[in-house]
């Protein structure tokens, strides 16, 4: 075997060993495995190392200190576990090492991206004429959608924000729900619209924005709605909000990092009613669809608004006459993220994606039922894959979660929900089985005793 092949073969063997053990090992690494990362803190080597030796260090030091998010019992944040087809695709795409800035730099990368974006619009039920970008995550996707909104509203007001900036521009208003995700506020900050300079709308007990509490809107306003609250999974009443916003010429942006994928499921699609009417959408491939990290998707009803905010040209960097990936995204050089999105969707198909959404949501329901039966309080209506649990006082809930994390059978975190401290479960991985839920319920019960 030539040395290059032997190296890749070694990587495959180590990855397979990692994958196998990730279903049985502790979910979070031990303190000593984390401490062992100090072995990395050596001076920058003077001489080269054999690639096989580099890989061996990576596996010996790195693998044990990873969190087993691919194993089926990680319920923290909203993290998927990479699908087999997406993992394999990411290896091949790394071997290609394509820069998908311009089509001429990677016809393949651009084509996979085009197709993947088209499929996402299709399966999410969004206007097929929308444009988009494949970016690093929903934070950047929010940034893209809001940049398009900023461009479009200010252009309508006779102001060229992309060239002249915000100094002296007609002021824009931004309306968000009290339960806005922090990443959206960060995106507003990056765009000069201000994290704090927002009008907050009251929400109901599930965190849904109250349409009846919206301020008077106008054509200089961006209204940000949410498909899937990060704690409860709840959906804002988008149809009513879009109707009111559009009557006044406002722009509606959707943060649908994970919840928007409910549209892929016949059982849950109704939750996304009305989101189709918005002007821009942000979602993630790396959350519910289980594309590997990282993969976010920005979509904009009128692609020209996104292009105007993102495009750049130079004598040596001239776009062709078809869609150029980097003309729609914040980056110039960019990896061929669309390939892994394509691979995940191609392997799932419409039915597989619906099944993934429905299976993980059923597991969430199993968690809620099992914990309620054991006498613990479920704080949210479990509408999709998110469950909030209280074990009593904030101290008791926090101590219980600490024991769960220490025990290692599963991993989940805590949150604060409308004045209550809660354990937060998010079932987002294709790899989670009924057995995982059973083992996890037993471990939670042990920790709570």
Binding region for ligand PLP (CB under 6 A): 77-78, 137-139, 181, 183, 226, 228, 230, 255, 257-258, 284, 296
Residue closer to ligand PLP by CB (options 181, 334) is 181
The Cα–Cα gap between 138 and 127 comes to 19
Residue closer to ligand PLP by CB (options 72, 76) is 76
Look at phi and psi of residue 177 and say left if phi exceeds 0, alpha if psi is from -120 to 50, else beta.
Answer: beta
Angstrom CA distances, 13 to 9, 60, 154, 282, stand at 6, 13, 54, 36
Residue closer to ligand PLP by CB (options 102, 227) is 227
Q: Minimum distance between the CB of residue 111 and ligand PLP, rounded to whole angstroms?
A: 25
Q: Minimum distance between the CB of residue 67 and ligand PLP, rounded to whole angstroms?
A: 15
Residue closer to ligand PLP by CB (options 386, 440) is 386
Residue closer to ligand PLP by CB (options 230, 308) is 230
- Exposure on the CB side of residue 46, measured as CA atoms within 13 A: 0
Q: Minimum distance between the CB of residue 388 and ligand PLP, rounded to whole angstroms?
A: 14
Q: Minimum distance between the CB of residue 207 and ligand PLP, rounded to whole angstroms?
A: 10
Cross-strand partners of 282? 255, 298
Residue closer to ligand PLP by CB (options 142, 397) is 142
Q: Minimum distance between the CB of residue 227 and ligand PLP, rounded to whole angstroms?
A: 8
Which of 135, 67, 113, 163 shows the shortest CA–CA distance to 410?
67
Residue closer to ligand PLP by CB (options 180, 447) is 180
Query: How far is Cα of residue 37 from the mean position of the Cα atoms in its chain?
Result: 27
The Cα–Cα gap between 372 and 378 comes to 7
Nearest 5°: phi and psi at 64? -65, -25
DSSP annotation of 45: P
Which of 319, 279, 285 shows the shortest CA–CA distance to 299?
279
Q: Minimum distance between the CB of residue 123 and ligand PLP, rounded to whole angstroms?
A: 19
Residue closer to ligand PLP by CB (options 192, 413) is 413
The Cα–Cα gap between 259 and 206 comes to 14
Residue closer to ligand PLP by CB (options 64, 274) is 274
The Cα–Cα gap between 193 and 310 comes to 17
Tokens found for residue 353: 């994606």
Tokens found for residue 440: 């996890």
Q: Minimum distance between the CB of residue 218 and ligand PLP, rounded to whole angstroms?
A: 26
3-state SS class at 191: coil
List of residues 6+ apart from 47 with CB closer than 8 A: none
Q: Minimum distance between the CB of residue 428 and ligand PLP, rounded to whole angstroms?
A: 10
The Cα–Cα gap between 75 and 427 comes to 5
Residue whose token pair is 């039920």: 125
The Cα–Cα gap between 214 and 250 comes to 12
Q: Minimum distance between the CB of residue 100 and ligand PLP, rounded to whole angstroms?
A: 19
Measured from the Cβ of residue 218, the count of other Cβ atoms closer than 10 Å reads 12
Q: Tell whether the torsion through CA atoms of 299, 304, 310 and 312 is positive or negative.
A: positive
Q: Minimum distance between the CB of residue 222 and ligand PLP, rounded to whole angstroms?
A: 16
Residue with smallest beta-carbon separation from ligand PLP: 137
Residue closer to ligand PLP by CB (options 176, 309) is 176
Which of 295, 264, 263 shows the shortest CA–CA distance to 87?
295
The Cα–Cα gap between 322 and 324 comes to 6
Residue closer to ligand PLP by CB (options 308, 423) is 423
Q: Minimum distance between the CB of residue 22 and ligand PLP, rounded to whole angstroms?
A: 21
């Amino acid at each position: 075997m030539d040395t290059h092949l032997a190296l890749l073969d070694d990587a495959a063997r180590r990855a397979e060993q990692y994958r196998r053990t990730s279903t049985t090992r502790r979910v979070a690494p031990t303190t000593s495995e984390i401490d062992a990362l100090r072995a990395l803190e050596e001076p920058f080597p003077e001489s080269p190392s054999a690639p096989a030796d580099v890989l061996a260090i990576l596996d010996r030091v790195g693998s044990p200190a990873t969190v087993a998010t691919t194993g089926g019992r990680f319920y923290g944040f909203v993290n998927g576990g990479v699908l087999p087809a997406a993992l394999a695709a990411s290896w091949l795409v790394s071997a290609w090492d394509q820069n998908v800035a311009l089509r001429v730099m990677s016809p393949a990368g651009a084509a996979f991206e085009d197709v993947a974006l088209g499929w996402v619009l299709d399966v999410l039920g969004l206007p097929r004429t929308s444009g988009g970008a494949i970016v690093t995550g929903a934070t950047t996707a929010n940034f893209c959608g809001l940049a398009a909104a900023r461009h479009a509203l200010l252009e309508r007001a006779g102001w060229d924000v992309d060239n002249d900036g915000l100094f002296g521009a007609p002021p824009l208003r931004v309306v968000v729900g009290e339960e806005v995700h922090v990443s959206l506020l960060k995106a507003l900050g990056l765009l000069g619209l201000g994290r704090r300079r927002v009008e907050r709308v009251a929400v109901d007990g599930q965190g849904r924005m109250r349409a009846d509490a919206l301020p008077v809107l106008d054509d200089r306003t961006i209204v940000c709605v949410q498909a899937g609250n990060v704690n409860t999974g709840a959906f804002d009443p988008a149809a009513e909000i879009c109707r009111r916003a559009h009557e006044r010429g406002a722009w509606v942006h959707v943060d649908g990092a994970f919840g928007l994928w409910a549209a892929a499921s016949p059982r849950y699609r109704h939750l996304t009613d009305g989101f189709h009417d918005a002007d821009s959408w942000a979602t993630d491939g790396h959350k519910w669809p289980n594309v590997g990290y990282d993969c976010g998707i920005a979509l904009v009803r009128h692609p020209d608004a996104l292009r105007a905010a993102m495009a750049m040209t130079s004598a040596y960097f001239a776009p062709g006459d078809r869609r150029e990936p980097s003309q729609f995204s914040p980056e110039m050089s960019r990896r061929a993220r669309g390939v892994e999105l394509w691979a995940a969707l191609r392997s799932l198909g419409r039915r597989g994606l619906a099944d993934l959404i429905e299976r993980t949501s059923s597991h969430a329901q199993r968690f809620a039922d099992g914990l309620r039966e054991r006498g613990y309080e479920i704080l949210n209506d479990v509408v999709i894959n998110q469950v909030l649990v209280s074990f009593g006082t904030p101290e008791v809930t926090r101590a219980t979660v600490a024991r769960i994390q220490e025990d290692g059978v599963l991993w989940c975190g805590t949150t604060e929900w409308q004045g209550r401290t809660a354990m937060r479960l998010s079932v987002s991985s294709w790899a989670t089985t009924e057995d995982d839920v059973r083992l996890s319920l037993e471990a939670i019960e042990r920790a709570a005793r």
